[in-house]
Structures are given as C-alpha cells and as structure tokens.
Amino acid sequence: MAVPLAVVADPRAPHSRRTLALDPGTSILRAAHAAGIDITATCGGRGRCTSCRVKFLAGPVPPPTIMDEVQLGPALVRDGYRLACQCAPTDAATVQVTPPLDEDGFQILGAESGVARHFHGLHPDAGVDKQLVKVALPREEHHQTSDVEQLGAAIGLPPADVAPAVLAGLPGALRDDPDGVTVTTFGGRVLAVERGDTTAMRFGLAVDIGTTTVVTTLLELASGEQLASVSSLNPQSVFGGDLMSRIAFAQFNPANLRRLQARIVALLNQHVAEVCRQSGVLSKWIYKVVVVGNTCMHHLLLGIDPSWVGLAPYAPVMRHPLVLPARDLFLKVAPEARVCLLPIVAGFVGADAVAVALATRLADADALRVAVDIGTNGEVLLGSRARVWACSAPAGPALEGAQIRHGMRGAAGAIDRVTVDGDVHVHTIGETAALGICGSGLIDLVAGLLGAGAIDATGLIQVERRDALPPALGARIVQRGEERQVVVLRPGEAGATQEIVLTQDDVRQVQLAKGAIASGIAMLLHVAGIRAETLDELMLAGGFGNYVSVESAVRIGLIPDLPRERIRYVGNAAALGAQLCLLSEAERGHATEIAGRIEHVSLAAHPDFEQLFVDAMNFPAA
Amino acid sequence: MAVPLAVVADPRAPHSRRTLALDPGTSILRAAHAAGIDITATCGGRGRCTSCRVKFLAGPVPPPTIMDEVQLGPALVRDGYRLACQCAPTDAATVQVTPPLDEDGFQILGAESGVARHFHGLHPDAGVDKQLVKVALPREEHHQTSDVEQLGAAIGLPPADVAPAVLAGLPGALRDDPDGVTVTTFGGRVLAVERGDTTAMRFGLAVDIGTTTVVTTLLELASGEQLASVSSLNPQSVFGGDLMSRIAFAQFNPANLRRLQARIVALLNQHVAEVCRQSGVLSKWIYKVVVVGNTCMHHLLLGIDPSWVGLAPYAPVMRHPLVLPARDLFLKVAPEARVCLLPIVAGFVGADAVAVALATRLADADALRVAVDIGTNGEVLLGSRARVWACSAPAGPALEGAQIRHGMRGAAGAIDRVTVDGDVHVHTIGETAALGICGSGLIDLVAGLLGAGAIDATGLIQVERRDALPPALGARIVQRGEERQVVVLRPGEAGATQEIVLTQDDVRQVQLAKGAIASGIAMLLHVAGIRAETLDELMLAGGFGNYVSVESAVRIGLIPDLPRERIRYVGNAAALGAQLCLLSEAERGHATEIAGRIEHVSLAAHPDFEQLFVDAMNFPAA
C-alpha cells in the first residue's frame, strides 16, 4: 500500500510542498524525481555523497542505513537527516529537501576530507567556551577583595581579562542564583557572566556581505547545526548597484559613508532579530560573529573611508584579520561578542575570496583548480597547494537580474530555466506565473538563442535571419524602432500578465558580465602559464553559481569548455568559509595563512588584458 | 618712582584683582604681603621653595634669577613664572598668584625629592608618544599592500596595533599632507594619525571625581605645565549628597544607575570643553586621561552596579587598574585616548586614597605619617615605607557647608575665617558681603566659641552661661523657641543682608563630621599600635584641608594636637596623584604597587570602634 509522503522542496518557497504516494521499497529520491521534484544526487543515488539528504520534519524517522551513518555522521543522523537515495519510509511522513546553499556546502565538505568533521560535530573549536562556576562572594571587611577577583579566582583568569562591559552586571549575577553563574570566554577573555546554568546556549553568526545580497546564518557552536538563515538585498544598493558606484557615493563624503555604514549595520541587526525569532535563540547567547565580504563591504561595515579602494592602485586601507567587540559595531548580540573579520588580499579581492579559498580547499590540495565566485563583483581563484592566484572580475549586477529590461532576482515568479528548440520554453521559480527573468534563466535563454542561431557570435539578435528560424521562434525575433528584441513570453504565456522581452541591450549586458568572468579566468591561466584543458576542476561558487546551468554557462563562454565531470557547483562557498571560521578557530587561523599566500593579479594593469577581454566578449562558435 | 603692579590673587575669584604701587627694589612678595594679599612663602621668602611663584600675565617678564632657575626649572621660567620673593619688576605688569590647588601641589613636590622633576619637565614619561612620519603609499596593483601596513612599516608596529577607530580616517590623512602624518602611540598602540606635524600637541587630563566636587586639570604632557583647571559640584549630588544616599539611589535600579553615569559623563564633557576653551587646546589632542575617585564614583563612571558597595562587607565589584578607550565612556577627547582608572583598595577606600598615598609619598618614606583627606567621604592613611593602613571616615557634607543652616561652599561671600575674642569677627572670601559660612569658617567659629566658653566640651551652646561671657559675645548667644543659636552676624554686620546664625544642630553636624575623621585617625593609630605623639607628620589633604586653620582643627579635635611644625597642608593630593600618573607611567605603575600594600581597616567591623567614636564626638578640654 502506498504511503503518503509530503516533500517540502524549498523551505524558502512556501508553495513548494507536495505530497507523493510512495510505493513500498521505493526510495524518496526515486519517488521525488518521478514526480519532478529536483533533489540533487551527485553520486547518482549510490549513497556515496550527501547531496540528496533530506530532513524529517514529521512522522517516524526510519532507522539509519550504514550509508547514512558513514556519509552524514552521528549528529545529523540524530537530528533526523537521511540520504533520500537510501531511505524508503514505511509510515506517513514529511521531509524537507535541504536548502541549496546548505546542500552544496555539504557537497564541498563531502568532497574534501577533514572539513566535514566540523559539520558532523566531531571536533568543534569555535573558541567560545562556557563554564558553570560557583563564585565565593567577598565576606571579609578588613581584608577586602572584589567581585571580579573572586570570579577570576574561580575560573583561573586575572581580573584584567574580564571585559569592562561585563563588570556592570557582575555583582547582581553573582548574587542572584544559587546554581552559580555561567562564564563565557573567548581567547581567555571573559565575554559574559550569566545567572544560572546557560552552558548549553552557545551560538554564533556567519555573515556574508555581498554587494547585492547579505546572508546571515545562525549556528549552534558545539554541533555546527544551522538553526536559521536569512538573506536580504544589501540595502546599500539604493546608493549604487555595483562596487564602483557604491564607492563613488561614499568617496570624499563622510556623511554618505556613515549612511552606508548605518544601512548595513541596521540590516545585520534585522537579521539578528529574524534568526533569533526563527530559532528561539536569545541574541545575548550569540558570542561570535564571523563576517566575510569584499574589501569595499568590509571597509563600509567598519566605517572606513573606501575612497582610494576605487582609485588606482586600488589599495585597501587594511588587510589584516580583525577581532572587535560587537558593541563597537552596534551589533545587537552579546555586547562583548567577538566580531571576526577575515583578512583581505587586495582592494578587489576581499575576505569573501579568502573564504572561498578556505571552503573549497583550493589552496590545500594537489589538484589544480579554479573557483569562480559569480557575483556583482566576481572573483576568480586559480591554484593548488603550491601557488594560488586571484583576480577580481567586475561582472556587474546583470547576472543578478539588474540592468536587464525584465530582469529580477531569483525569487518566486522568476524565469530560472529556459530551453529553446523550435520555440522558447520557460520554467519559473515556484512554478507560478512568470514575472521576469533571473540570471540563470538569462544565461539559458542566451545560450538557447545562440544554439538556435537567433543570436550570432558577436551577440547581435538576428532580426534579418528570423525567417530562417523555426516559425514559432522566428516570430519572437522582432525589431521595434531602433531596438532588436526577443519576445520571451507574450501576455498569457506561462501565466505572464505582460510581455517579457530580451533586448539587444540585455544581450550586451550579458556579454559584458560573462566577458568579465571569462577574461578573469583566462588571465589567471595566462599568468600561471596553464591551458584550460589541464585544469583538474572548475568550481562554481556563489548563490548564483548554484542555479546556473553548466551547459548554458559553457555555451555562452562564461566558463571554459571542460569535460562536464570536471565542473562542479560548490554553493555559497564564501558563506560556507565564514561558517567554517565560526565553528573553528583553527580554520580561522588557516584563512589568514591562505590570505598571505594568494597572489593578486590586477587585470587592468596587465598589458595583455585588453585583448583577452575583447576576445571574451564574443560568444564561442557553436 | 613706584611701578603699578596688578596682582590677581585667585584666578577663580573674578574680584580678586588689585593694583599695588611697587617701590623700586621691593619684591612682589613683600609688596603683596604689605597690601594684605596672601601669597604662601613656605621657606620664608628665601628662594628655597616654589610656593610663592607667580605668573606674569602682562608686561615685560623680568630676567630670571638663579633661584628662579633652580627652583622653577627652565619650562616654567620660559612660561613666565617667577618666585615672588626674588622678583622686583621695574615696569608695569600684571601677575597672577598661582591657584592654591597648584600651589600646594608644588609644596608637596618641593618637599619630596624625585617627584618635582616631573613638573619641571626634566623627564616626562606620560607614555603618549608622537612622531612625524612619511608613509610610502601603496603603488603597485599586482603586489598589493594596504595603508595600514605601510603605516606600520614606517613606525615599526604591526597593523593589528592600530586601533580600529583610527582606520576610518587613515587613507585621507596619509594622502593629504606632503609633510607626512603625526602618529600618536600609547603603550605601543596607535591612538591617532593626524595630517601634518602635530608632534607638539600632546595633552592629558587629570580628573578627581569627588562625591561633592569634580576637578579636571589639563596638562601639557611633555612639560607638565598646567594649562587650565575647572571644578564643579558633582551633578550627581541632586540624587544624594553623601555616598550612602548616592548608592541607595542607584541600588537595584538600573535606570537610576544610568542617570548617575550619564550625569558624570556629561559633566566631564563640559569640563573638557571648558579647559579646551580656556587653553585653546583642541580636544582631539587629549590622548590620556587619568581618573581618581572613591570606589562609588569609580563604579558609577563605569556604569557598574554599586549596590553591594553599600551593603556589608561593602565589597567593590573590581579593584584592579583599568585602561579603556575614551569612546567607551563617550568622553569627547581623542576617540582612542586612553582613560586610566587607578586601582581601588576597598569599597570605601578608593582610587582617590591611592592617589593621596602616591602624591604624599606616604608609602615610600621612612617617616611615620598620617594623611587625612577631608571630604564628604574622608579617608585616613597611616604608615611609612614599612606598612600602610587606610580607613574611610564618612564625615558627610557638613564641612563642605551642606546641612548647615547658613552653610555654603567656599565661594565669594563665604565666611572662611572667624576669630572670637570678646566678640565674633569674620573674614569673607573675596572680602565681599557675607552670604553664609563655609567649612573653614565653621571650624574657626566652633573652635573660637569653645575657647571663649560659649560652647562646652559636649557641644552644647551655653545659653545659660551667656551672662558670664564678654557682653558683645554673650549677646550673640540666644535661645529661640527650642533652638539654641549663636548669632554670627546680624543684618548689616560685614555687609550681611540677613542674619547668619550657627544653630545647635549645626554644632552637632560639626561634631559628627569631626568625630568621623578623628575616630578614623584614632582607629588607625590603635590598629598600628602607635601613639599620636610619635607621628612624624600629619598631612591635611583635599580642597577643604587646604583652607582650614590648623589651630582651629586641633582645637575642635578634628586632628591630634601635634607640634604645629608637624602638621602640613598638602593641597588636593588626590588630584595631584592623578596628575603624577598622567605625566608618568612609572608613577602610574607605582600607584598599583602601593594599592596592593595598603591594609584596609574597617571601622564598623572593629570591636573597639564604638568607644573611639563616642570619645571623638566630644570636643577636647581647653
């Protein structure tokens, strides 16, 4: 008899819940695929990776298989995670497909030995320690002592290592609870003293501040469990979509600099409130925050003048890793919580690139690999254990849907998949009425139009040749006044209430964006003296890289035409790097070591760049 | 021909300017004394001390004598200071008698070898260093560096030693001035980076936060020169005049605690603005602040809950010395300026007592001495190089004029000197119409009435015996309803527009206050096993101790009846101790060492205290 199984495909998309009838002995993976629900199965459903894991939200959790235990580890198994390819429930249940960000995080970790343990809860090393102590109160009038000396004696630290902000509430805390107080330390410094036993409450935030998107993740520090994650548009965007316009806004204008800083701090505090609301964690139990971001975002967060980051030679004001108390940034977590900013490599190769290098193990392996973090400001890393090069690739926000006539972010209603055969076929996020087109859809669309001959290698929309195209497709190629357009959807098609078009200008924007990334890759290969074919692997990182079709990306020349098994999604590796540093001080130390080894390649300053960029603007021949 | 010489007797009293006719060859000291202007001349006008020094405000400064150079040092001589006993101007000029606080500071210093040099600018050691450096800007795009790394290379410090708040303005400062930047460090940490050469601008504040009075002094750190000094009532006083009522207001009430903290911080910022206005120094050039105060004032400044300081065993929350950035206290000096709080001994023996011990060298000399800091919360120290004891003596605010019918502070119009022979004769500050009576006048008055038999040893005003007194005095002894009074001034006498009386209650208040101090001294002598007669010296410290008549103080039993040459005014020793620590890190380190050696004696907890206190309440027999 079939068992009802509810599957939540994407916890961020409220309408993604569907109920399947699961035949006995059928794995969740097979049933989901049969029903058209995407669950990644990198290893082909053989229990050799973690990409297909699901979490049981309701119903009895089936006993773990040996593959569950090997791949997921005891902590995740205990928390109700199972591999969808190995699991055939016999009772009604609800499972959730793990979020893509997280998913790919696990893919990276599964692929690299030694990192996974942090997520499997085997050896956490966040540096935040809590201990319950009973402090003997001062009792003698003649031989006086003080509360903080008594506290210090109880935990074996000198009074000077107690942060002054902790002193304010210390006497009350010491006297209020017969069970004692919980003392939180980080690096031998007392960050908090709380009434009673709160030793189990030990949380941290990993924050990835992108030019366009900000992602904040709340983790339990002992297990590494992700309790909540929120993402938002960077509210600085209203003052400039890309880095250079953001810098220009702040340049030589202290008031604007303060506005940018205030906006990001306010957003982070909204994120704190939201992850705390989602998880039930109190903000005062967040003792460590790791922030990654490009150099400009980093400087703006600290209120540091980024004027010269925007002028040759684009020098950052600082590059060293920084640890400062949360109150200095007005972050509403524990006041003495430590905010750790990862080191920076160069003005346009920031802490986010360092985090990508850390999370992908690019700088630690023998294999020669490329990591491409596709974002408004893209970064490209190339290297191995021996040497690492990095450059920035200013793609602009086109691939995030900005500056595109009907562009939008990858939210419900966005066209995220396009196939072009005799006509244009679209898929929308949430399978709702189409509202616009996001980056992955845009790349699919351009790739498809290229393949069909509706765009030529220079990017020109082939209005003159539309009669040679299949009639349905040809009818979508139009000239309106001066403007060449492809009508992607007419009103009524795919639920669209208005026409959705791709303009000639949109194609040019895609060319500029992909040209920036492609020429960055080409330049690093050129500097390193390596041919693309010899690369062991190309990793696509970033929230966007996560959704793009590899075939389409190769077709438009965004990435080199490698054998497909050598191209891999690695998810939001920058955010993942932040999480690693949050959970492990050893990882945070390693990030600094890696940053010191990364060799910066300045595209603009290189004599061969111009030709590489011009070449990269065109599309590859079919 | 006589030369006109204007003498400003007290810069704090605007009406104290008088013009003398100075005969040729007559010293300023002699002319001033002849005219009734008090200028202290500890050595008898022989050029052997610095107590009579004056500053030339206008007119040509006479060439220094050899005594000027020996006693005052080159810095003060350059700044227009001369010894009044050695100086006979031949041209019209205006001189200012140095303020009493300062005056006595110099007396102390003159008396103690090795300290004076700090004030004579011979070996300053404030710890605040400034250097003008040219920083090579980042020039290379490929091999990137950062502004702060370039700065670090120029001064030989790692980037992590640059305070984050300095980073904000760093790129602008480095690029704006061809002369380079001035880097300020304290303890190897970069506190500020300023455009151009500001190496000469190096200032600090010494702050003495008393329960009733707050004194802030601005010093130039290289020379030790005092540029400005302001004092105010502690604005917390409206929430309680003495320590216990101040603590009660804050006790278990975080909102009130914040109000107290906000009030003192606001006052300190007013003081900063005022000393800067007076001196022309910019507040951003103030890099070090040393604060002393009793334990409660210390805790309130830091926003630390003082609830348990007011409950047995009166334990402070912290005792260790603290250094924190000014921005943490919202002090409007250089944001990264270091605020240094001296260590504390006990709940009622605070950093001010430590500063007194430091400034008087009590804990460093072979002589056995007592220092009495007379204030709302008095402190008594007894000891020598061998051992030091301390206790607190809660005198209450009576000796500062509070809780006295016609009491007032020692400001213009206050009766500050009283003699009683056949009648009562008064002197007022500024020699203006009498408005009320301040602490020194009160002690003189009670002492005089005692001597005349108008008050008996139990403190009772002798209404019944008034006929046995000289008629003029007897007529002043009155009974009004239930209340015994002494009419000090009738309307019209000494310009008084209203009657000024001393009530029986006022006498009781004086008895309580002097009893607290006297029993504190007696208890320390008792604990140490020492008889008062064997003391080498008794030092009167504090703004109040500065003005009180020793004869009167002995007469009422405030201090023991020692030979007069063994009793000495030492001025505001707490403020002076703060100044020493401001000018010298060695002194600041020494303060911590001394604090560790001071043995606290709790009066209330000692079984013999009650009898000592009862004895001390009475007045000594004539």
Residue A213, pLDDT above cutoff 80: yes
Q: Is A255 touching B (CB cutoff 8 A)?
A: no
Are the beta carbons of A318 and B148 separated by less than 8 Å? yes
Residue B342, pLDDT above cutoff 70: yes
Question: What is the pLDDT, as a whole number, of residue B101?
Answer: 31
* Helices A504-528, A609-617: crossing angle, 10 deg rounding: 140
Residue B91, pLDDT above cutoff 50: yes
The residue with tokens 């704006």 is B176
For the stretch B415-472, pLDDT in tens is 999 999 999 999 998 888 998 999 999 999 999 999 999 999 999 999 999 999 999 9
Nearest to A318 among B159, B324, B602 (CB): B159
Segment B189-205 mean pLDDT:
95
Are the beta carbons of A602 and B141 separated by less than 8 Å? yes
Q: Is A604 touching B (CB cutoff 8 A)?
A: yes
Chain B hits for A605, Cβ within 8 Å: 141-142
Chain A hits for B314, Cβ within 8 Å: 141, 144
Contacts of B534 (CB under 8 A, 6+ apart): B368
- Token duo for residue B482: 């239930």
Question: What is the pLDDT, as a whole number, of residue B110?
Answer: 27
For the stretch A433-448, pLDDT in tens is 998 999 999 999 999 9
For the stretch B142-180, pLDDT in tens is 878 999 999 999 999 999 999 888 998 899 999 988 889
Work out the pLDDT band at A262, boundaries 50, 70, 90. very high
Shortest alpha-carbon distance between residue A239 and chain B (Å):
20
Chain A hits for B600, Cβ within 8 Å: 141-144
Contacts of B134 (CB under 8 A, 6+ apart): B154, B180
Nearest to A148 among B160, B314, B317 (CB): B317
In 3D space, the residue among A242, A286, A244, A245 whose CA is nearest the CA of residue A268 turns out to be: A286
Residue B84, pLDDT above cutoff 60: yes
Are the beta carbons of A318 and B142 separated by less than 8 Å? no
Question: What is the pLDDT, as a whole number, of residue B213?
Answer: 86
Shortest alpha-carbon distance between residue B130 and chain A (Å):
21
Question: What is the pLDDT, as a whole number, of residue B122?
Answer: 38
Between chain A and chain B, the number of residue pairs with CB atoms below 8 A apart is 160
CB B363 within 8 A of CB B573: no
Q: Average pLDDT over chain B, rounded to whole?
A: 88
Domains delineated in chain B: 3-98 (3.10.20.30), 128-195 (3.10.20.880), 203-341 (3.30.420.480), 360-396+513-617 (3.30.420.40), 399-510 (no CATH)
Segments in B168-252 forming alpha helices (H): 170-176, 243-250
Chain A hits for B313, Cβ within 8 Å: 138-141, 144
Residue B296, pLDDT above cutoff 50: yes
Nearest to A315 among B146, B169, B303 (CB): B146
Are the beta carbons of A164 and B324 separated by less than 8 Å? yes
**B19-38 residues touching A, CB cutoff 8 A:** none
Tell me: cis bond preceding B178? Omega within 30 of 0 counts: no
Name the β-bridge partners of A293: A209
Contacts of A155 (CB under 8 A, 6+ apart): A131, A133, A183, A185, A190
Segment A205-222 mean pLDDT:
92
In 3D space, the residue among A178, A183, A204 whose CA is nearest the CA of residue A194 turns out to be: A183
**B571-600 residues touching A, CB cutoff 8 A:** 599-600
Minimal Cα distance from B302: which residue of A?
A168
For residue A404, the one-letter residue type is: I
pTM metric for this prediction: 0.77
Residue B120, pLDDT above cutoff 50: no
Q: Is B303 touching A (CB cutoff 8 A)?
A: yes
**Who has greater pLDDT, A487 or A243?**
A487
Work out the pLDDT band at A53, boundaries 50, 70, 90. confident
Contacts of A466 (CB under 8 A, 6+ apart): A454, A474, A475, A477
CB B506 within 8 A of CB B442: yes
Chain A hits for B143, Cβ within 8 Å: 600
Question: What is the pLDDT, as a whole number, of residue A67?
Answer: 77
Segment B213-220 mean pLDDT:
93
Nearest to B304 among A137, A168, A314 (CB): A168
For the stretch A504-540, pLDDT in tens is 999 999 999 999 999 999 999 999 999 999 999 999 9
Residue of B174, B317, B327, B339 for testing the chain A interface, max A β-carbons within 10 Å: B317
Q: Is B160 touching A (CB cutoff 8 A)?
A: yes
Shortest alpha-carbon distance between residue B315 and chain A (Å):
6
CB A226 within 8 A of CB A278: no
Shortest alpha-carbon distance between residue A260 and chain B (Å):
13
Strand order in the sheet with A567-571: A567-571, A537-541, A369-373, A378-383, A388-393, A598-600
Lowest mean pLDDT among A45-54, A281-290, B239-248, B290-299: A45-54
Question: What is the pLDDT, as a whole number, of residue A120?
Answer: 46
Q: Is B312 touching A (CB cutoff 8 A)?
A: yes
Q: Is A602 touching B (CB cutoff 8 A)?
A: yes
Work out the pLDDT band at B103, boundaries 50, 70, 90. very low
Question: What is the pLDDT, as a whole number, of residue A49?
Answer: 67
CB A275 within 8 A of CB A286: no
Q: Are strands A338-341 and A322-325 parallel, antiparallel or unpaired?
A: antiparallel
Judge residue B544's burial from the number of C-beta atoms within 10 Å of its C-beta, 0-12 exposed, 13-18 middle, 19 or more buried: buried
Work out the pLDDT band at B44, boundaries 50, 70, 90. low
For the stretch A414-468, pLDDT in tens is 899 999 999 999 999 888 899 899 999 999 999 999 999 999 999 999 999 999 9
Residue A121, pLDDT above cutoff 80: no
Work out the pLDDT band at B359, boundaries 50, 70, 90. very high
Question: What is the pLDDT, as a whole number, of residue A11?
Answer: 61
Question: What is the pLDDT, as a whole number, of residue A189?
Answer: 94
How far apart are the C-alpha atoms of B61 and B74, rounded to whole Å? 14
Nearest to B322 among A140, A164, A346 (CB): A164
Residue B377, pLDDT above cutoff 70: yes
Report percent pLDDT > 90 for chain A. Answer: 59
Segment A63-77 mean pLDDT:
79
Are the beta carbons of B319 and A170 separated by less than 8 Å? no
Nearest to B160 among A320, A345, A599 (CB): A320
Question: What is the pLDDT, as a whole number, of residue A110?
Answer: 26
Shortest alpha-carbon distance between residue B586 and chain A (Å):
19
Question: What is the pLDDT, as a whole number, of residue B118?
Answer: 39
Work out the pLDDT band at A16, boundaries 50, 70, 90. confident
Residue B105, pLDDT above cutoff 60: no
Residue A622, pLDDT above cutoff 80: no
Q: Is B417 touching A (CB cutoff 8 A)?
A: no
Q: Does residue A428 sit in helix, strand or coil?
A: strand
Residue A378, pLDDT above cutoff 90: no
Shortest alpha-carbon distance between residue B574 and chain A (Å):
21
Q: Is B143 touching A (CB cutoff 8 A)?
A: yes
Q: Is A314 touching B (CB cutoff 8 A)?
A: yes
Minimal Cα distance from A174: which residue of B?
B317
Are the beta carbons of B170 and A144 separated by less than 8 Å? no
Minimal Cα distance from B321: which residue of A?
A160
How far apart are the C-alpha atoms of A184 and A199, rounded to whole Å? 8
CB B588 within 8 A of CB B187: no
Residue B569, pLDDT above cutoff 70: yes
How far apart are the C-alpha atoms of B132 and B358, rounded to whole Å? 34
Question: What is the pLDDT, as a whole number, of residue A13?
Answer: 61
Tell me: cis bond preceding B313? Omega within 30 of 0 counts: yes
Residue A124, pLDDT above cutoff 80: no
Minimal Cα distance from A349: which residue of B?
B144
The residue with tokens 């790919």 is A104
Nearest to B314 among A141, A158, A303 (CB): A141
Length of chain A: 622
Chain B hits for A140, Cβ within 8 Å: 313
Percentages helix, strand, coil for chain B (3-state, rounded to 5) are: 40, 25, 40
Question: What is the pLDDT, as a whole number, of residue B115?
Answer: 35
Question: What is the pLDDT, as a whole number, of residue A375?
Answer: 80
- Token duo for residue A224: 């590494």
Question: What is the pLDDT, as a whole number, of residue B357?
Answer: 96
Nearest to B142 among A144, A162, A602 (CB): A602
First-to-last alpha carbon distance for chain A, in angstroms, is 51
Are the beta carbons of A324 and B164 separated by less than 8 Å? yes
Question: What is the pLDDT, as a whole number, of residue A44?
Answer: 61
Nearest to A141 among B137, B302, B602 (CB): B602
Can you tell me the ipTM of this complex? Answer: 0.76
How far apart are the C-alpha atoms of A352 and A595, rounded to whole Å? 11
> A209 — phi, psi (to 5°)?
-95, 100
Q: Report the greatest alpha carbon distance in chain B.
A: 102
Structural element, H or E, at residue B552:
helix B550-555
Shortest alpha-carbon distance between residue B318 and chain A (Å):
5
In 3D space, the residue among A442, A427, A308, A315 whose CA is nearest the CA of residue A374 turns out to be: A442
Q: Is A266 touching B (CB cutoff 8 A)?
A: no
For residue A384, the one-letter residue type is: S
Name the β-bridge partners of B181: B133, B195
Q: Is B195 touching A (CB cutoff 8 A)?
A: no
Neighbours of B283 (CB within 10 A): 20
Report percent pLDDT > 70 for chain A. Answer: 93
